[in-house]
Structure 1
Amino acid sequence: MAERLSANMKLTAQCKRAFPDLERTALSKRASSIEADIYEKCISSDDYQERCQAALDELSTHVKHAESADTTGDSYVPEIDRPVERIGPYAATYHASGLFSTIYRSASDSHPGGLIAIKLTTPSAMVAPHNAYREARILRLAAHGTVIPIHSSQAISGGQYIMTFPFLPYDLATLLDRGSLTKAQIRSHLYALFDALAFCHSRGILHRDVKPSNILLKSASGPAYLADFGIAWTSEDPESEAADEKITDIGTTCYRAPELLFGNSRYGKGVDLWAAGCVVAEAENQGISLFDSGDVGSELALIRSIFSTLGTPNDTTWPEAKAFPDWGKMAFREYPSRNWHEIIPEAGEHGRDLVARLVGYESGQRLPAGRVS
């Protein structure tokens, strides 16, 4: 069983690189279909391994074709066919979009690299906990070498608000998907994440949306920065929720900590540590996410994925849950606990140990970011 699971994960990762435009479900189905066909035809364990390797080699030709169209590397080549728009005082071109913001890039002779990023938001259209004004204030409190620096912020016409940053064209999610990072590069970028979290947590700041796509990079070699503080929280900011009444609808799908799913509004830095552990697992496991919240990001699907992966917790294994408002309202299937060698078989020993110390039910027992080495 472990042999088949390992093969399936390798095939899924290779399919992701070969067919980057396919949805997660389609990728998983394609890999499972390949593995099942191999298993049905093989006549021995050695034959199984040989057939799996042949399938991986065949997929590698598609990987090379897909990556030949990429511009990923240490030199960013901007698109030349994007129209120039006026964003406040800047002549800018579109770069990317989020739920509540749009990112543009603009030439700037006064900043290294000659480019800046412009984050355009409409504060009146934002839904809590998204808050552009608070984001700018928290970023200034979080000024640190591995936190993206904010250059400026200002309101512009039409009720819009802009913040400017260094232009960082890459993110960890994209580079992991492409399989274009070395182990040393991945390790360096992950250390940057924990360095940023350690500083933020020492200042009483919760990021609340740690994920690979919020780790931005100047190039595949780095440097890396923790970015997007749009839903960050600190008790020092007047527009933050009360410490014991925090919004639980934070984070992104499969990186959300389990205490959020059971209504704990008194959460702390543990939500960032859990998410960071998920990022480490994904980086160690060939870009495959640790948990799955389904195609529509269902909380119940995420709970099932967490429980089936780590084992269903109870009042003994997760004592703090007894105080959560939504704990005990439903009965869940009793999944057995599994060891981390089985959960992330491709991970190295150090990475596996780090994940195990971060991705645990009891939030107070998660390894503090400052102790990651």
Structure 2
Amino acid sequence: MKTTLILGAGFSKNSGLPIQSEIPALLTKYKENSNFERSVSLVLESFMRDVFGFEKDIYPQLDDLLTCIDISTNSEHHLGINYSPVHLKALKRLIIYRIFTILEDSFTYSKEVEKLIRFFIENRLEYTGFLVLNWDTVLEKYISAIAPKAIIDYCNGGRYLTEDLRFEEKRDGKRKVEILKVHGSCNWLYCDNCRILINDTVSRVPNIRKVGFKKSDFKLFDEMKKVTDKVFFEDVRCFICGDIVSAHIATQSYRKSFRTNSFPSIWDKAEDMLTNSEKWVFIGYSLPQADYEFKHLLKICEHKLGHKKDRRLSIDVVLFDSETTAMRYKSFFGNKINRIFNSGIGEYISYLEST
């Protein structure tokens, strides 16, 4: 049976990463590490206070932060007199940098998650595809530990960065794991000029250089004018045209951008994977309203060849103590749902081992 594992933030939560609702409280916590990190925290804190009235422990939601920034920058409007589109674009780079840092620093290895991934990698790799809605590389970390010689294929048409900082167009190997990341990934870099995507699966580019900081970004805010270390201004250059490359993600907002070169092809691949699977397994995904485009894709794939298949689509849902989310799935998929596991990955592993 062809199976697609659909992984949400709850999957990564098992490895110590915060879910989206927990991220705003962490954006301003990096004040002890260095002057640079402290400056970033102060800028973000000022923005949340000025625009969202932030005080004490009541933080704006991440999708509200990013949606307001995206709409203002796309329409070339201010968010108050102090936050022009230029300021807002710089702020978005600071937010993305800080989120990447949080994701990287929070990871802890989980034996339970390892056991789950090992089950599919060692027993059913030929029939399994992974569709990930997160930016993090949690899944890739487990795959690298379980099957070091396995080749990760993002199916995004990008080139792969190697250990010696060269680029591979294709990756060959006996064991290939397809991972479709429909919202992008924190280890992807994109060239706006020649539209080349670079997959840094070997983690050679540090976060500070991924988001495309500019010298002008640090001159916009009083808290950052003292940042002069040239390491913050070093660009990552495209190996084809020499232009600056930077992070390639769709931010958590109601104005996600899927129009750039790679996203349409990834979504096409996702449609093929979902359509041709007989089983979908959702792990730690809450089916949020903000993902209305992805939810629509699910409905398309559920029905377009349903009348041609001998076997009806079967859906498993793995959650942790969330009756509200369970009801959301029931109202969206109805009798297509096989089972809902509301006690987490451990309960689902026990089920797999018994079947």
Normalising by structure 2, we get a TM-score of 0.28
Q: Which has the higher contact order (CA 8 A, sep 6+)?
A: 2
Normalising by structure 1, we get a TM-score of 0.27
